[in-house]
Structure 1
Amino acid sequence: MLGAGPSDGAGAGALSPARRAADLDVVAGGRVDVVVVGGGVTGAGVALDAASRGLSVVLLERADLASGTSRWSSKLVHGGLRYLAHGELGLARESARERAVLMGATAPHLVRPLAFLVPDVAGRAASALAGVGGRLGDAVRASVAGGRRSLPGTRRVGAAELARLTPGVRGGRGGVVFWDGRLTDDARLVVALARTAAANGARVLTGAAVRAVDGADVHVETADGEALALRAGVVVNATGVWAQRLAPAVRLVPSRGSHLVVPGERLGSPSAALTVPLPGSRSRYVFALPQPGGLLYLGLTDEPVPGPVPDEDPVPAEDEVTLLLDTVNQVLAAPLTRADVVGSFAGLRPLVLPASAGTGPDGATSDLSRRHLLRWDGPVLTVVGGKLTTYRAMAEQAVDAVVARLDRGARRARTARLPLVGAAPPVALERVAAPRRLVERYGTEAPAVAALGAEPVVDGRPETVGELRFAVRCEGARTVADLLDRRVRIGLVPADRQRAVPVAVRVLAEES
């Protein structure tokens, strides 16, 4: 039975090149309680939960942490207002509870309150409905542990405050403000989960593709072309939209959610998320989400994706770009054009088709539940569906099933009170001696990142060479894409990425 992973002195749960090499040597031919397949938020969450209960764990990811859907979200930790609109009170309460856990205990350095503004110029019926929904959401939040004081309440604002919060909106009228959680970076959450799992003894191996599961034997091919095998008590399939490759009987309806990247100054550098109802819908909105560093993400679409799911990253369709721009332009004083779009991204949601359904979804994917599925197929437990906000609850239920199957490991999860690496109470984070931007991304590890260099990767952008060095030394980054597309996210703006590539290549050569 494999024991806990090594500590190399590079910080809590450091995923260094030396640790990866050592873990590969130990894993080959070994036996482990749990093999987790997939390095997204669900897989990393399962690995952390299982390791923290005393199980031996190996996480295998074919590419990189957060290389799939988990880096293409809206960067929100939300309480489920949309689920209330569909009458799913239980899912809304679960979302509100998990948001409170992230904000109050496990990741307060990564999740902060964000105001959402629905302007009256979008239609008084829309802002009135937002007010009702927001107050229902406030009531749900107050009903869960830690939720009552985690966010301000819903309220109306006048024209002056609307202009201050969202300067790009046509003036003269007010609106409704409700609150939710903003995630600094979804990929950073996944990295923090994986490193916390490693700190609890899990072996986290990226560039390790599972080619087959034959009974208890898991066959792996590494990025270097090496073949290895290990035996597992249980295999947890946490591969999201690719889950059917290990569990063909699972029925999924992938849905594409697309975003555009625009300079925040084009909307007057808003401090609140502009929220505009999608024409013809009472529960779907287009959001203009302000981001650290001056950018703004405009989303979100919900389009069914037929056919097999490719390994390549999805891209927004032309009609999605048009829909997003046309919707937000309804309320802007100076409409956006395609020339304002400096980048775009899209992700695939693994929506579960209910067992009672026919051969396909009856209606739009936006109407399918975001509930998750647990399903056993021999020694393989598939956990799929759900959403980023509820990853911890999904992982807890999955590991409950694993513990029952193996008859070993702690019966109760610890993860609702287990801080991720870098986490600390807000008062302590205020005292961290490092630039605020780094504290909001690395928490208590920000001084270590700052000490590795403040030189910008790209002139005019805030990301530093120290962040790239830290990513290689401690966060498992092995390639240029790992660095630029997932650890610091410069890749969201292709023109900036092109300028950053030589710096990333240099850092990899120096640090690997």
Structure 2
Amino acid sequence: MTSAPTALHAARRRSDLAAAADGTCDVLVVGGGITGAGVALDAASRGLRVTLIEAEDLAFGTSRFSSKLVHGGLRYLATGDVATARESARERHLLMSVIAPHLIRPLGQLLPFAPGVSGRQRGAGAAGMAMGDLLRLQARTSAKTLPGPHPVGTARALRLFPALNPRGLRGGMVTYDGQLSDDAALVVAVARTAAGLGARILTRVRAERLHADGAAATDTLTGERIDIRARTVINATGVWAATLDDGLTLRPSRGTHIVLDAADLGDPAAALTIPLEGSISRYVFALPQRAGRVIVGLTDVDAPGPIPSVAEPTEAEIGFLLETLNRLLAVPVARDRVRGAFAGLRPLVDTGAAETADVSRRHLVRASASGVISVLGGKLTTYRRMAEDAVDLAVRQYGLRAGPSGTATLRLIDDPAPGDVVEGGALSRAAVEHAVRTQGAMTAADVLDRRTRIGLVSDDRARALPAVERIVAETLADLP
């Protein structure tokens, strides 16, 4: 492996871009979300020369709009997809025990035995938790890392989620999953770890056309056209994959979350698991976050048509999430208490299922007629396995001289930003400078929307924007 600095910044981008245009890499990765960053890290861990290009910023697309869970596949067990659940449990184990324990914590999730949860849903939920715990044990995840499920009484359930309606509540079941401090931070950590192994991480470089031995690209900061030569090309652009590989058929699904103040829900200490009416396999979750927020989600709605650069939640989806949550609360949350909403598009492979909720979350790796390898589908928890499969195919198909993947035992960089992100959206100057000097941020939007998550609440974003714009400009001017 090549050792290199892990810091990403504008000056490094300029030198790496010139080097990418002047030589040939082993693997060109297109896409800077969690899958693309994972592919870059996997290839670099094998000693391959890697260049990653991303049209916007790291984690610009779907990767920053997840539920921020590293989960063991309880939903997949409910639909009978044991293989996907087992894979999720194994990857969760690696992430929480080896790869990123500094970015993930165990989160209790309460399934309340309330009047709005049927006996069938209670039984199915408890059975699913027990099966999920078997997968935890098979994955060798210790109870210290992730405790097993257990029943709780009514008083304990109300302490965990104080906003629950106590009338008719008969306790519940608690299980545990992994919760990311931030999904975009995971992407940046993976990309920076890859950079530390010699990968070139180039944001604001848009692929115009892919072919088996490289790509025609544009530096969107200057408008300059660049030809990047590579021995193999891996398309990891998620919902945009079909725009670069016309042999793919995707069925994007929109997943929406709303953002609430934790105080409006009694400052919950655990997540709330809410089965959808009449279903034993679909849920809405209310998930406590940092800075006094709770996110509630998510939806699963067909999203046909052109792919927007940023998906927008619909009022109907916001209303659906509020209605689902309010079924179990003593005091309903009003629409005007919603502090923000966000939506991401899942890059599902079209299987002809009637609803997107029924489409498999298993990933697909394929080589097109042009020789470009595409990887898509899957989910955040299994990004590492997706990346390994994609690079395995590239090594086999193109005879690359490479060792086995090293990512199952490779810990991600641990480099927290100085200064705290405090409630209300204030940021220390040191944290903004750190984002620009080491995390590859080049604009205030990069800082507010993807290095921190202040942008999830528009009022907080507007308050912070002028100062962050000024600090970003000053820091960029100070770089070599």
Secondary structure at 1:288 match in 2: strand
Deviation at 1:151, TM superposition (A): 1.3
Structure 1 equivalent of residue 239 of structure 2 = 241
> 1:119 and 2:83 equivalent?
no
> 1:410 and 2:426 equivalent?
no
Instruction: Give me the TM-score of the superposition, normalised by structure 1.
Output: 0.89
Structure 2 equivalent of residue 266 of structure 1 = 264
1:315 aligned residue (312, 326, 329): 312
> 1:388 and 2:380 equivalent?
yes
Equivalent pair of 2:212/2:232 in contact (CA under 8 Å): no
Structure 2 equivalent of residue 138 of structure 1 = 133
Cα deviation digits, residues 51-72 of structure 1 (max 9, x gap): 1101100000000000000000
Structure 2 equivalent of residue 468 of structure 1 = 432
Secondary structure at 1:113 match in 2: strand
Structure 2 equivalent of residue 165 of structure 1 = 160
Alignment of 1:388-467 (within 5 A): 388-422=380-414, 445-446=415-416, 449-450=417-418, 460-461=424-425, 463-467=427-431
Distance change >3 Å, CA 185–CA 155, structure 1 → 2: same
Structure 1 equivalent of residue 453 of structure 2 = 489
Name the % identity. 51
Cα deviation digits, residues 397-445 of structure 1 (max 9, x gap): 11111111232343411101100000xxxxxxxxxxxxxxxxxxxxxx3
Structure 2 equivalent of residue 362 of structure 1 = 353
Q: Structure 1: where are the runs of 5+ without partners?
A: 355-360, 423-444
Equivalent pair of 2:291/2:423 in contact (CA under 8 Å): no
Cα deviation digits, residues 280-325 of structure 1 (max 9, x gap): 22111111100011100010100011112122x1111121111111
Give distance in 1, aligned partners of 2:470 and 2:314: 35
Secondary structure at 1:352 match in 2: coil
Structure 1 equivalent of residue 188 of structure 2 = 191
Structure 2 equivalent of residue 76 of structure 1 = 69
Secondary structure at 1:133 match in 2: helix
Deviation at 1:83, TM superposition (A): 0.8
Equivalent pair of 1:233/1:379 in contact (CA under 8 Å): no
Give distance in 2, aligned partners of 1:251 and 1:132: 35
Deviation at 1:74, TM superposition (A): 0.3
Equivalent pair of 1:131/1:155 in contact (CA under 8 Å): no
Give distance in 2, aligned partners of 1:460 and 1:385: 35
Give distance in 2, aligned partners of 1:48 and 1:411: 13
Q: Structure 2: where are the runs of 5+ without partners?
A: none
> 1:128 and 2:123 equivalent?
yes
Runs of 4+ with deviation above 4 angstroms:
none
> 1:507 and 2:478 equivalent?
no
Distance change >3 Å, CA 76–CA 213, structure 1 → 2: same
Structure 1 equivalent of residue 334 of structure 2 = 337
> 1:251 and 2:244 equivalent?
no
Instruction: Give me the TM-score of the superposition, normalised by structure 2.
Output: 0.95
**Bigger mean CA offset, 145-154 vs 158-167:** 145-154
Structure 1 equivalent of residue 201 of structure 2 = 204
Cα deviation digits, residues 198-243 of structure 1 (max 9, x gap): 0001000000001112442311111221111121111100000000
Structure 2 equivalent of residue 227 of structure 1 = 225
Give distance in 2, aligned partners of 1:314 and 1:461: 23
2:336 maps to amino acid = A
Deviation at 1:24, TM superposition (A): 1.2
Distance change >3 Å, CA 175–CA 310, structure 1 → 2: same
Structure 2 equivalent of residue 431 of structure 1 = none
1:123 maps to amino acid = V
Give distance in 2, aligned partners of 1:282 and 1:51: 42
Deviation at 1:141, TM superposition (A): 1.2
Structure 2 equivalent of residue 87 of structure 1 = 80
Give distance in 1, aligned partners of 2:141 and 2:423: 42
State how many pairs are aligned: 470
Give distance in 1, aligned partners of 2:462 and 2:426: 16
Give distance in 1, aligned partners of 2:127 and 2:394: 41
Equivalent pair of 1:97/1:147 in contact (CA under 8 Å): no
Give distance in 2, aligned partners of 1:282 and 1:36: 39
1:133 maps to amino acid = G
Structure 1 equivalent of residue 90 of structure 2 = 97
1:153 maps to amino acid = G
Give the alignment's Cα RMSD to 1 decimal: 1.6
Equivalent pair of 1:400/1:411 in contact (CA under 8 Å): no
Equivalent pair of 1:16/1:475 in contact (CA under 8 Å): yes
1:382 maps to amino acid = S
Give distance in 1, aligned partners of 2:141 and 2:130: 17
Cα deviation digits, residues 239-293 of structure 1 (max 9, x gap): 0000001111111110000000010111100010011111122111111100011
2:366 aligned residue (369, 372, 375): 375
1:82 maps to amino acid = R
Cα deviation digits, residues 332-359 of structure 1 (max 9, x gap): 01101111101000000011123xxxxx
1:183 maps to amino acid = L
Deviation at 1:118, TM superposition (A): 1.1
Deviation at 1:147, TM superposition (A): 5.5
Secondary structure at 1:271 match in 2: coil
Distance change >3 Å, CA 159–CA 187, structure 1 → 2: same
> 1:480 and 2:480 equivalent?
no
Give distance in 1, aligned partners of 2:126 and 2:40: 39
Structure 1 equivalent of residue 213 of structure 2 = 216
